[in-house]
Protein backbone atom coordinates (compact mmCIF):
# COMPACT_ATOMS: atom_id res chain seq x y z
CA UNK A 1 0.00 0.00 0.00
CA UNK A 2 1.32 3.41 -1.09
CA UNK A 3 -0.72 5.87 0.88
CA UNK A 4 1.51 8.56 2.20
CA UNK A 5 4.60 10.14 0.71
CA UNK A 6 5.36 9.14 -2.86
CA UNK A 7 9.09 9.29 -3.57
CA UNK A 8 9.47 9.90 -7.29
CA UNK A 9 12.06 7.44 -8.56
CA UNK A 10 12.78 9.42 -11.71
CA UNK A 11 12.37 13.03 -10.58
CA UNK A 12 10.50 15.23 -13.07
CA UNK A 13 12.08 18.58 -13.88
CA UNK A 14 10.23 21.90 -14.02
CA UNK A 15 11.82 23.16 -17.23
CA UNK A 16 9.85 26.40 -17.47
CA UNK A 17 7.38 28.52 -15.55
CA UNK A 18 5.56 31.76 -16.25
CA UNK A 19 3.35 34.16 -14.30
CA UNK A 20 0.81 36.78 -15.32
CA UNK A 21 -0.64 39.09 -12.65
CA UNK A 22 -2.95 42.04 -12.06
CA UNK A 23 -2.10 45.59 -11.05
CA UNK A 24 -2.30 45.08 -7.28
CA UNK A 25 0.12 42.14 -7.43
CA UNK A 26 2.41 44.15 -9.70
CA UNK A 27 2.62 46.84 -7.00
CA UNK A 28 3.58 44.29 -4.34
CA UNK A 29 7.04 43.25 -3.14
CA UNK A 30 7.48 40.44 -5.71
CA UNK A 31 6.78 42.70 -8.70
CA UNK A 32 10.09 42.00 -10.46
CA UNK A 33 9.53 38.26 -10.48
CA UNK A 34 6.39 38.27 -12.64
CA UNK A 35 6.50 37.97 -16.43
CA UNK A 36 3.54 40.17 -17.31
CA UNK A 37 0.90 42.37 -15.71
CA UNK A 38 -2.13 44.39 -16.81
CA UNK A 39 -3.03 47.75 -15.27
CA UNK A 40 -6.82 47.45 -15.66
CA UNK A 41 -6.98 43.70 -14.87
CA UNK A 42 -9.09 43.09 -18.00
CA UNK A 43 -6.30 41.82 -20.27
CA UNK A 44 -8.01 43.21 -23.39
CA UNK A 45 -11.25 41.30 -22.73
CA UNK A 46 -14.71 42.50 -21.78
CA UNK A 47 -15.43 40.62 -18.55
CA UNK A 48 -13.49 39.57 -15.45
CA UNK A 49 -14.15 35.91 -16.22
CA UNK A 50 -12.78 36.22 -19.74
CA UNK A 51 -9.82 38.15 -18.33
CA UNK A 52 -9.07 35.16 -16.12
CA UNK A 53 -9.10 32.82 -19.13
CA UNK A 54 -6.87 35.25 -21.01
CA UNK A 55 -4.37 35.24 -18.14
CA UNK A 56 -4.17 31.44 -18.36
CA UNK A 57 -3.72 31.61 -22.12
CA UNK A 58 -0.88 34.15 -21.81
CA UNK A 59 0.85 32.38 -18.93
CA UNK A 60 0.70 29.07 -20.79
CA UNK A 61 2.05 30.64 -24.00
CA UNK A 62 4.88 32.30 -22.09
CA UNK A 63 5.82 29.02 -20.40
CA UNK A 64 5.77 27.18 -23.74
CA UNK A 65 8.05 29.85 -25.25
CA UNK A 66 10.49 29.62 -22.37
CA UNK A 67 10.56 25.83 -22.77
CA UNK A 68 10.97 26.27 -26.56
CA UNK A 69 8.04 23.93 -27.08
CA UNK A 70 4.79 23.87 -29.02
CA UNK A 71 1.46 22.91 -27.46
CA UNK A 72 1.23 19.84 -29.70
CA UNK A 73 4.46 18.50 -28.18
CA UNK A 74 2.81 18.26 -24.76
CA UNK A 75 1.39 14.93 -23.60
CA UNK A 76 -1.19 16.54 -21.32
CA UNK A 77 -2.33 19.74 -19.64
CA UNK A 78 -3.56 19.67 -16.03
CA UNK A 79 -5.53 22.81 -15.28
CA UNK A 80 -8.03 24.35 -12.91
CA UNK A 81 -9.39 27.51 -11.32
CA UNK A 82 -12.04 28.70 -8.87
CA UNK A 83 -14.81 29.70 -11.27
CA UNK A 84 -18.03 27.71 -11.45
CA UNK A 85 -17.46 24.71 -13.77
CA UNK A 86 -13.77 25.73 -13.99
CA UNK A 87 -14.42 27.89 -17.05
CA UNK A 88 -11.26 29.94 -16.48
CA UNK A 89 -9.26 26.93 -17.66
CA UNK A 90 -11.66 25.44 -20.23
CA UNK A 91 -11.95 28.72 -22.18
CA UNK A 92 -8.36 29.80 -21.57
CA UNK A 93 -6.88 26.59 -22.92
CA UNK A 94 -9.45 25.48 -25.54
CA UNK A 95 -7.33 26.63 -28.47
CA UNK A 96 -4.35 24.47 -27.57
CA UNK A 97 -3.76 21.09 -29.11
CA UNK A 98 -3.10 18.79 -26.16
CA UNK A 99 -5.05 16.32 -24.03
CA UNK A 100 -6.73 18.17 -21.16
CA UNK A 101 -7.45 17.12 -17.58
CA UNK A 102 -9.67 19.55 -15.67
CA UNK A 103 -9.05 19.65 -11.92
CA UNK A 104 -10.82 21.18 -8.97
CA UNK A 105 -8.92 21.42 -5.70
CA UNK A 106 -10.00 24.97 -4.79
CA UNK A 107 -6.87 27.01 -3.97
CA UNK A 108 -4.81 23.80 -3.75
CA UNK A 109 -5.18 23.18 -7.49
CA UNK A 110 -1.59 24.18 -8.31
CA UNK A 111 -0.20 21.41 -6.11
CA UNK A 112 -2.82 18.93 -7.34
CA UNK A 113 -1.90 19.60 -10.97
CA UNK A 114 1.85 19.40 -10.26
CA UNK A 115 1.40 16.17 -8.27
CA UNK A 116 -0.58 14.39 -11.00
CA UNK A 117 1.78 15.72 -13.67
CA UNK A 118 4.89 14.66 -11.83
CA UNK A 119 3.64 11.17 -10.94
CA UNK A 120 2.80 10.45 -14.59
CA UNK A 121 6.09 11.89 -15.88
CA UNK A 122 8.07 10.03 -13.24
CA UNK A 123 6.31 6.78 -14.19
CA UNK A 124 7.29 7.24 -17.83
CA UNK A 125 3.69 7.40 -19.05
CA UNK A 126 4.18 11.03 -20.08
CA UNK A 127 7.32 12.89 -21.13
CA UNK A 128 6.12 16.52 -21.12
CA UNK A 129 3.13 17.94 -19.26
CA UNK A 130 1.85 21.35 -18.26
CA UNK A 131 0.17 22.59 -15.09
CA UNK A 132 -1.85 25.80 -15.44
CA UNK A 133 -4.01 27.50 -12.79
CA UNK A 134 -5.49 30.93 -12.14
CA UNK A 135 -7.66 33.13 -9.96
CA UNK A 136 -8.94 36.68 -10.41
CA UNK A 137 -9.93 39.06 -7.61
CA UNK A 138 -12.88 40.53 -9.52
CA UNK A 139 -14.36 37.27 -10.83
CA UNK A 140 -13.90 35.63 -7.42
CA UNK A 141 -15.58 38.51 -5.55
CA UNK A 142 -18.54 38.43 -7.95
CA UNK A 143 -18.90 34.68 -7.59
CA UNK A 144 -18.09 33.98 -3.95
CA UNK A 145 -19.04 37.26 -2.23
CA UNK A 146 -20.55 40.37 -3.86
CA UNK A 147 -20.01 42.18 -7.18
CA UNK A 148 -17.32 44.85 -6.73
CA UNK A 149 -19.88 47.56 -7.55
CA UNK A 150 -21.58 46.92 -4.20
CA UNK A 151 -18.47 48.19 -2.42
CA UNK A 152 -19.00 45.82 0.49
CA UNK A 153 -16.73 45.93 3.50
CA UNK A 154 -14.49 42.99 4.28
CA UNK A 155 -13.69 41.59 7.71
CA UNK A 156 -10.13 41.77 9.13
CA UNK A 157 -9.77 37.99 8.70
CA UNK A 158 -10.74 38.12 5.01
CA UNK A 159 -8.08 37.56 2.34
CA UNK A 160 -7.73 39.10 -1.10
CA UNK A 161 -7.99 36.69 -4.03
CA UNK A 162 -4.85 37.09 -6.13
CA UNK A 163 -5.32 38.14 -9.75
CA UNK A 164 -2.83 35.87 -11.41
CA UNK A 165 -2.18 32.81 -13.53
CA UNK A 166 0.81 30.49 -13.33
CA UNK A 167 1.93 27.93 -15.89
CA UNK A 168 4.59 25.24 -15.53
CA UNK A 169 6.13 22.82 -18.02
CA UNK A 170 7.35 19.53 -16.58
CA UNK A 171 9.72 17.21 -18.36
CA UNK A 172 11.28 13.82 -17.78
CA UNK A 173 14.67 15.46 -18.43
CA UNK A 174 16.19 18.77 -17.46
CA UNK A 175 18.57 20.58 -15.17
CA UNK A 176 16.19 21.36 -12.35
CA UNK A 177 14.44 22.26 -10.18
CA UNK A 178 13.13 18.76 -9.61
CA UNK A 179 10.05 17.39 -7.88
CA UNK A 180 11.46 14.83 -5.45
CA UNK A 181 8.45 13.76 -3.41
CA UNK A 182 4.70 14.35 -3.33
CA UNK A 183 2.09 13.85 -0.63
CA UNK A 184 -1.52 14.20 -1.80
CA UNK A 185 -3.92 15.58 0.79
CA UNK A 186 -7.06 14.20 2.41
CA UNK A 187 -10.32 16.13 2.79
CA UNK A 188 -10.31 17.47 6.37
CA UNK A 189 -13.52 18.78 7.92
CA UNK A 190 -13.25 20.17 11.46
CA UNK A 191 -16.68 21.82 11.46
CA UNK A 192 -15.37 25.35 10.82
CA UNK A 193 -18.05 27.62 9.28
CA UNK A 194 -16.73 31.24 9.05
CA UNK A 195 -16.74 32.06 5.33
CA UNK A 196 -14.72 35.22 6.05
CA UNK A 197 -11.81 33.31 7.52
CA UNK A 198 -10.51 30.95 4.86
CA UNK A 199 -7.10 30.78 6.54
CA UNK A 200 -8.56 29.21 9.66
CA UNK A 201 -10.76 26.91 7.57
CA UNK A 202 -7.79 25.56 5.61
CA UNK A 203 -5.27 25.39 8.47
CA UNK A 204 -6.39 21.96 9.77
CA UNK A 205 -5.74 20.42 6.34
CA UNK A 206 -2.25 22.01 6.20
CA UNK A 207 -1.53 20.67 9.69
CA UNK A 208 -2.77 17.19 8.71
CA UNK A 209 -0.53 17.06 5.62
CA UNK A 210 2.58 18.58 7.27
CA UNK A 211 2.20 16.33 10.31
CA UNK A 212 1.89 13.27 8.06
CA UNK A 213 4.93 14.38 6.07
CA UNK A 214 7.24 14.90 9.03
CA UNK A 215 5.99 11.77 10.85
CA UNK A 216 6.43 9.47 7.88
CA UNK A 217 9.68 10.91 6.50
CA UNK A 218 11.43 11.29 9.86
CA UNK A 219 12.61 14.69 8.66
CA UNK A 220 12.28 17.94 10.58
CA UNK A 221 11.46 21.48 9.40
CA UNK A 222 15.15 22.42 9.68
CA UNK A 223 15.93 20.00 6.84
CA UNK A 224 14.38 22.54 4.45
CA UNK A 225 15.46 26.00 3.36
CA UNK A 226 11.82 26.99 3.08
CA UNK A 227 8.45 25.54 4.00
CA UNK A 228 5.79 27.54 2.22
CA UNK A 229 2.01 27.18 2.39
CA UNK A 230 -0.22 28.39 -0.42
CA UNK A 231 -2.65 30.95 0.97
CA UNK A 232 -3.28 30.65 4.70
CA UNK A 233 -2.66 34.34 5.42
CA UNK A 234 -2.01 35.67 8.94
CA UNK A 235 -4.90 33.75 10.48
CA UNK A 236 -4.01 30.36 9.09
CA UNK A 237 -0.26 30.71 9.51
CA UNK A 238 -0.60 31.37 13.24
CA UNK A 239 -2.91 28.39 13.70
CA UNK A 240 -0.51 26.11 11.81
CA UNK A 241 2.47 27.29 13.90
CA UNK A 242 0.57 26.88 17.20
CA UNK A 243 -0.97 23.50 16.55
CA UNK A 244 2.11 21.91 14.99
CA UNK A 245 4.08 23.09 18.05
CA UNK A 246 1.66 21.10 20.21
CA UNK A 247 2.48 18.06 18.05
CA UNK A 248 6.19 18.66 18.67
CA UNK A 249 6.92 20.22 15.27
CA UNK A 250 8.48 23.69 15.49
CA UNK A 251 8.22 25.82 12.35
CA UNK A 252 10.86 28.52 12.60
CA UNK A 253 11.78 31.48 10.38
CA UNK A 254 12.01 29.17 7.39
CA UNK A 255 8.21 28.93 7.33
CA UNK A 256 6.29 31.41 5.18
CA UNK A 257 3.06 31.66 3.20
CA UNK A 258 2.58 32.78 -0.41
CA UNK A 259 -0.43 34.82 0.76
CA UNK A 260 1.87 36.87 3.01
CA UNK A 261 4.71 37.13 0.49
CA UNK A 262 2.79 38.46 -2.50
CA UNK A 263 1.51 41.68 -0.89
CA UNK A 264 2.87 44.25 1.51
CA UNK A 265 -0.24 43.42 3.50
CA UNK A 266 -0.54 46.57 5.59
CA UNK A 267 0.44 49.10 2.93
CA UNK A 268 -1.70 47.39 0.29
CA UNK A 269 -4.73 47.00 2.60
CA UNK A 270 -5.31 43.32 1.87
CA UNK A 271 -6.35 42.38 5.41
CA UNK A 272 -5.17 38.84 6.25
CA UNK A 273 -3.17 38.30 3.03
CA UNK A 274 -3.57 36.89 -0.47
CA UNK A 275 -5.50 33.78 -1.50
CA UNK A 276 -6.72 31.85 -4.54
CA UNK A 277 -5.21 29.32 -6.96
CA UNK A 278 -3.23 32.14 -8.51
CA UNK A 279 -1.53 33.06 -5.22
CA UNK A 280 0.74 30.04 -4.83
CA UNK A 281 0.97 29.71 -8.63
CA UNK A 282 2.54 33.12 -9.35
CA UNK A 283 4.71 33.18 -6.21
CA UNK A 284 6.09 29.75 -7.09
CA UNK A 285 6.35 30.40 -10.86
CA UNK A 286 8.25 33.65 -10.30
CA UNK A 287 9.98 34.37 -6.98
CA UNK A 288 10.48 30.80 -5.72
CA UNK A 289 11.53 29.30 -9.06
CA UNK A 290 14.04 32.17 -9.46
CA UNK A 291 15.53 31.48 -6.03
CA UNK A 292 15.67 27.73 -6.66
CA UNK A 293 17.44 28.28 -9.99
CA UNK A 294 19.90 30.73 -8.40
CA UNK A 295 20.70 28.16 -5.71
CA UNK A 296 19.46 30.40 -2.87
CA UNK A 297 16.95 27.68 -2.05
CA UNK A 298 17.96 24.04 -2.29
CA UNK A 299 15.18 22.01 -0.68
CA UNK A 300 11.68 23.39 -0.18
CA UNK A 301 8.23 22.10 0.78
CA UNK A 302 5.32 23.68 -1.10
CA UNK A 303 1.96 22.98 0.58
CA UNK A 304 -1.03 24.35 -1.33
CA UNK A 305 -4.24 24.62 0.65
CA UNK A 306 -7.83 24.68 -0.55
CA UNK A 307 -11.28 25.31 0.97
CA UNK A 308 -13.77 23.04 -0.76
CA UNK A 309 -17.03 24.83 0.03
CA UNK A 310 -19.27 26.75 -2.39
CA UNK A 311 -21.50 29.80 -1.83
CA UNK A 312 -24.41 27.32 -1.99
CA UNK A 313 -23.04 24.94 0.63
CA UNK A 314 -22.36 27.95 2.89
CA UNK A 315 -25.97 29.15 2.54
CA UNK A 316 -27.12 25.65 3.48
CA UNK A 317 -25.15 25.93 6.74
CA UNK A 318 -22.49 23.34 5.97
CA UNK A 319 -18.95 23.51 7.39
CA UNK A 320 -15.91 24.19 5.17
CA UNK A 321 -13.84 21.10 4.31
CA UNK A 322 -10.18 21.79 3.55
CA UNK A 323 -7.43 19.99 1.68
CA UNK A 324 -3.65 20.46 1.46
CA UNK A 325 -1.36 18.84 -1.14
CA UNK A 326 2.42 18.80 -0.55
CA UNK A 327 5.42 18.81 -2.91
CA UNK A 328 9.08 18.47 -1.97
CA UNK A 329 11.07 20.41 -4.55
CA UNK A 330 14.85 20.26 -4.91
CA UNK A 331 17.06 22.73 -6.77
CA UNK A 332 19.46 19.94 -7.78
Smaller CB distance to a second copy: residue 151 or 317?
317
Smaller CB distance to a second copy: residue 80 or 286?
80
Shortest distance in whole angstroms from residue 28 CB to a second copy: 27
Helix (H) / strand (E) containing 255: strand 255-257
Chain contacts with a second copy (rule: CB under 8 A): 1-3, 6, 46-47, 49-50, 72-76, 80, 82-87, 90-91, 93-106, 112, 116, 119-120, 122-128, 143, 184-189, 308-313, 316, 318, 321, 323
Residues 88/81, Cβ–Cβ less than 8 Å: yes
Residues 217/5, Cβ–Cβ less than 8 Å: yes
Q: How far apart, in Å, are the Cα atoms of 128 and each of 22, 170, 173, 272, 294?
A: 29, 6, 9, 37, 24
Smaller CB distance to a second copy: residue 183 or 282?
183
Shortest distance in whole angstroms from residue 119 CB to a second copy: 5
Shortest distance in whole angstroms from residue 93 CB to a second copy: 6
Measured in residues, the chain has a length of: 332
Beta bridge mates, 325? 304
Cα separation, 185 vs 205, whole angstroms:
8
Residues 301/326, Cβ–Cβ less than 8 Å: yes
Shortest distance in whole angstroms from residue 194 CB to a second copy: 17
Cα separation, 201 vs 321, whole angstroms:
7
Shortest distance in whole angstroms from residue 2 CB to a second copy: 5
Shortest distance in whole angstroms from residue 141 CB to a second copy: 14
Smaller CB distance to a second copy: residue 83 or 261?
83
Smaller CB distance to a second copy: residue 28 or 105?
105
Smaller CB distance to a second copy: residue 51 or 251?
51
Closest C-alpha to 103, from 94, 95, 114: 114
Cα separation, 134 vs 275, whole angstroms:
11
Beta bridge mates, 128? 171
Amino acid sequence: MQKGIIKLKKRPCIIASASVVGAHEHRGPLSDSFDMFCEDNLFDTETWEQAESEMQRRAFNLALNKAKMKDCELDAIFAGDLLNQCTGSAYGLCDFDAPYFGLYGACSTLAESLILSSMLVSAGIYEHTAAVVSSHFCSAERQFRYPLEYGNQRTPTAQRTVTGAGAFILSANGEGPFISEVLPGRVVDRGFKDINNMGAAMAPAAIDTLWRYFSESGKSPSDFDLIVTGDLGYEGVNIVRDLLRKHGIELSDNYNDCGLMIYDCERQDVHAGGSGCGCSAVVFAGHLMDRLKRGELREILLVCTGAMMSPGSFLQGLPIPGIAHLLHISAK
